[in-house]
Amino acid sequence: MDKVVKSANVQAEQIIEWGESQKIETCFDRAERLKPCPIGVSGACCKVCHMGPCRFVGSNAEEDARGVCGATLPTVASRNLVRMAVAGAAAHSDHARDMAFTLLSVANGETKDFRITDVKKLYKVAGILQIEFEGRPVNDVARDVAVKLIEDFGRQKGELNYIRRAPKKTQERWRKWGIVPRGVDREITEAMHRTHIGVDHEPDNLLLSCLRVSLADGWGGSMISTDITDILFGTPMPVKAEASFGIFKEDEVNLVVHGHEPSLAEIIVDVVNEPDMIAYARTKGAKGINLGGMCCTANEILMRHGIPTAGGFTNQELAIMTGLVDAITVDVQCIMPALTELSKKFHTKVITTSHKAKIQGAMHIEYDEHRAKDIARQIVRTAIDNYSNRKQEGSYISDKFPVIAGFSQEYIEYMQGGRWRASFRPLNDAIMAGRIRGVVGLAGCDNPRVPSQGLHRFLAIELIKNDVLIVSTGCGSAACGTAGFLTPEMALENAGPGLREVCEAIGIPPILHLGSCVDNSRILTIATAMAEEGGLSDEIGGMPAVGIAPEWMSEKAIAIGCYFAASGVPVIFGGESPVEASREVTKIMTEGWFEKFRGALHFEPDPEMILSLALDYIDKARETLKLKKYEPGKFGAERVLMDMASRRDLERAAKPHIGIY
């Protein structure tokens, strides 16, 4: 019998195999051992009160089954989905709240270690928020921006500030169906209330509240977080980095930052470069300090500083198993509690840094933005002190891949027209002409229940072969990065001829790494800019664009899928559907949402089907927009191999440059 591959990432698979030989357990083993509960997995279990849990089983469960209170299966399945979206929206938005308060304390001069890095972005955001900025001190503008964005969390009536950023028609749809979010916290509270026993029982109504709370994430929490992070730490521009386990160095102190919130990681980037710290590392026998990232904290500092990444969610245990990680700091979200138990077998110190996220067995060094540098130094020193405890055990992996990351909306606009004529015209034109068939957002988690990262990689290759431009975020980007897919050469070797021409002309990879998971909000603003540019749809709905999260597992992914669907993007998730048990709910989320918002949320476990569904949506949108019919191979039939001079040009284009958008 062929050996079952647990990860499609060759380097990850090597570590997993080494772990098996050492009897070290990972999420891959646990996924194999713990099959999902067959009732809960499809949304057919209700546990919102203690008369249950009630199970809705049997071939006629949709029609006949009732909970003790009389709840039907469609009510229960939609309620379960709403609660997932609520948790996801809460996670992104609480992260955003922290960012907003950091901006406020910077503006008030209360945090000496941070400053406003990107004044231009601050002014852009101030403009959107209708805050006067000309001739005013930067910190005054920043204070007004922070206060106005903080109001978005607690607002009781009215609309979120950023709703006005969406295309008019998209806004009108939201108003028509009553799903414009008022305040982030209000939507989260109300959705929790509606899903309490005995409140909202109508699936359609429940699912509208699911969209409303998710919009509070996408056009609220996530977008606020992206903007403030850009203001504080800089709007990303293309930068070269590396990915995979080979980023760890045998003769240096290896420190990994893992989680989602970028503030502490940003300061650690500074601290590892302090001469005193490097000298201290040398006194312990190390040649230097090597900083690496994991998951979305990685994406944040990769996008802005080119800090290498060890990969996404399923790589976290494997990183420790290299035996080379002296310390790993974790902030919030997507952190496996298994890390502490695993770290005992190695020398790695696991350091929790948030009061919201403690793990038994971890060391706790609490982050406080008012003493950010002191705390970062304490963490770096902890890693250095642990270097000499490194043991021989570990599965050393030396492979790593080059990555070009750092594509913000601002840079994508700039790259299409330079500083003075930045626009989305060339991209829209390429789509209209059929050079580019459409755009796919490839996002979301990676998952040990499938050969992890394999679905991302399969879809990435197949989509670009089909002339589909990919924008990626989060673990989707990590899966592509650790496969060597995030380079311009990828276009030459794998993209369809039309997409290849466009990538060559601009000097970009066919997969644009847009950042962390909260940076999915960049896709919303890019889609808006494309709608405003003209020639395609005049709203987000109707664009030849699709969202795909083939290996999703987190509640945040559900919130993201729903805010894209509400914004007008058909979204396809892999794996089993969490509402599979109810035909009615499935129909509402596909046909019903498409009718109202021109978006949808599908669940489709078969990767080939995901691909054909996505291409189908794209082609149908092209047809409705009366664009030229996409013909495979029509453009650039000649395959041009790059000479050294053009490669050097691409390298130059990929270097970080300042103030160009």
Identify whether 53 is preceded by a cis peptide bond (ω within 30 of 0): yes
Query: Closest CB to ligand NFS among 209 and 472?
Result: 472
Query: Closest CB to ligand NFS among 102 and 477?
Result: 477
Q: Which of residues 445-484 bind ligand NFS (CB under 6 A)?
A: 445, 474-475
Residue 469 · residue 512 · CB < 8 Å: yes
Query: Closest CB to ligand NFS among 26 and 554?
Result: 554
Min dist CB 406 to ligand NFS, Å, is 17
Min dist CB 442 to ligand NFS, Å, is 11
Reduced 3-state DSSP string for 31-88: HHHCCCCCCHHHCCEECCCCCCCEECCCCCHHHHCCCCCCCCHHHHHHHHHHHHHHHH
Angle at 421 between CA 417 and CA 426, to 5 degrees: 40
Query: Closest CB to ligand NFS among 161 and 299?
Result: 299
Nearest CA to 622 out of 434, 495, 441 is that of: 434
Query: Closest CB to ligand NFS among 410 and 446?
Result: 446
Angle at 91 between CA 85 and CA 97, to 5 degrees: 130
* Binding window for ligand NFS (CB under 6 A); candidates: 220-228, 356-364, 481-489, 551-559: 551-559
> Would you count residue 406 as binding ligand NFS (CB under 6 A)?
no
Min dist CB 332 to ligand NFS, Å, is 10
Query: Closest CB to ligand NFS among 210 and 536?
Result: 210
d(CA 255, CA 277): 13
Query: Closest CB to ligand NFS among 122 and 357?
Result: 357
Nearest CA to 561 out of 575, 549, 578 is that of: 549
> Would you count residue 324 as binding ligand NFS (CB under 6 A)?
no
Out of 444, 542, 544, 550, the residue judged to bind ligand NFS by CB under 6 A: 444
> Would you count residue 436 as binding ligand NFS (CB under 6 A)?
no
Out of 303, 499, 512, 557, the residue judged to bind ligand NFS by CB under 6 A: 557
Query: Closest CB to ligand NFS among 299 and 409?
Result: 299
Min dist CB 87 to ligand NFS, Å, is 11
d(CA 235, CA 509): 19
- The token pair that represents 259 in the structure block: 């989680």
Helix 73-107 × helix 223-233 angle, to 10°: 20
d(CA 528, CA 522): 10
Min dist CB 161 to ligand NFS, Å, is 24
> Would you count residue 295 as binding ligand NFS (CB under 6 A)?
yes
d(CA 211, CA 173): 12
**Backbone phi, then psi, for 548, in 5-degree steps?**
-135, 130
Question: Count residues contacting ligand NFS (CB under 6 A)?
Answer: 14
Out of 225, 352, 554, 577, the residue judged to bind ligand NFS by CB under 6 A: 554
Which residues sit opposite 549 in a β-bridge?
A: 573
* Binding window for ligand NFS (CB under 6 A); candidates: 22-30, 57-65, 240-248, 553-561: 553-561
Out of 123, 219, 248, 313, the residue judged to bind ligand NFS by CB under 6 A: 313
Nearest CA to 574 out of 442, 396, 466 is that of: 442
What is the x/- site pattern for ligand NFS, positions 505-544, by CB under 6 A?
A: ------------x---------------------------
Query: Closest CB to ligand NFS among 516 and 537?
Result: 516
Min dist CB 164 to ligand NFS, Å, is 27
Min dist CB 476 to ligand NFS, Å, is 7
Q: If you write DSSP's letter for every residue of 360-390 in order, what string do you get?
A: TT-EE----GGGHHHHHHHHHHHHHHHHTT-
Min dist CB 310 to ligand NFS, Å, is 12
* Binding window for ligand NFS (CB under 6 A); candidates: 245-253, 303-311, 390-398, 554-562: 554-562
Q: What type of residue is 349?
A: K
d(CA 357, CA 265): 16
Min dist CB 51 to ligand NFS, Å, is 33
- The token pair that represents 124 in the structure block: 């852009």
Min dist CB 445 to ligand NFS, Å, is 3
- Position of minimal CB gap to ligand NFS: 474
Query: Closest CB to ligand NFS among 190 and 604?
Result: 604
Query: Closest CB to ligand NFS among 15 and 336?
Result: 336
Query: Closest CB to ligand NFS among 426 and 605?
Result: 605
Q: If you write DSSP's letter for every residue of 524-550 in order, what string do you get?
A: HHHHHHHHHHSSS-SSSTTSSEEEEET
d(CA 71, CA 62): 11
* Binding window for ligand NFS (CB under 6 A); candidates: 21-29, 155-163, 213-221, 549-557: 549-557
Which residues sit opposite 603 in a β-bridge?
A: 573
Q: What type of residue is 151?
A: E
> Would you count residue 407 as binding ligand NFS (CB under 6 A)?
no
E strand or H helix that includes residue 190? helix 184-194
- Cβ neighbours for 448, distance < 8 A, ≥ 6 positions apart: 6, 7, 26, 27, 28, 30, 31, 314
Indicate the Cα dihedral angle 425, 426, 432, 438, nearest 10°.
-110
Query: Closest CB to ligand NFS among 289 and 565?
Result: 565
CA distances from 193 to 53, 562, 646 (A): 19, 19, 59
Query: Closest CB to ligand NFS among 12 and 384?
Result: 12
Q: Which of residues 21-60 bind ligand NFS (CB under 6 A)?
A: none
Out of 221, 262, 292, 312, the residue judged to bind ligand NFS by CB under 6 A: 312
* Binding window for ligand NFS (CB under 6 A); candidates: 208-216, 220-228, 273-281, 552-560: 552-560
Residue 78 · residue 582 · CB < 8 Å: yes
d(CA 100, CA 92): 12
> Would you count residue 296 as binding ligand NFS (CB under 6 A)?
yes
* Binding window for ligand NFS (CB under 6 A); candidates: 214-222, 352-360, 550-558, 604-612: 550-558
Q: Which residues bind ligand NFS (CB under 6 A)?
A: 295-296, 312-313, 333-334, 444-445, 474-475, 517, 554, 556-557
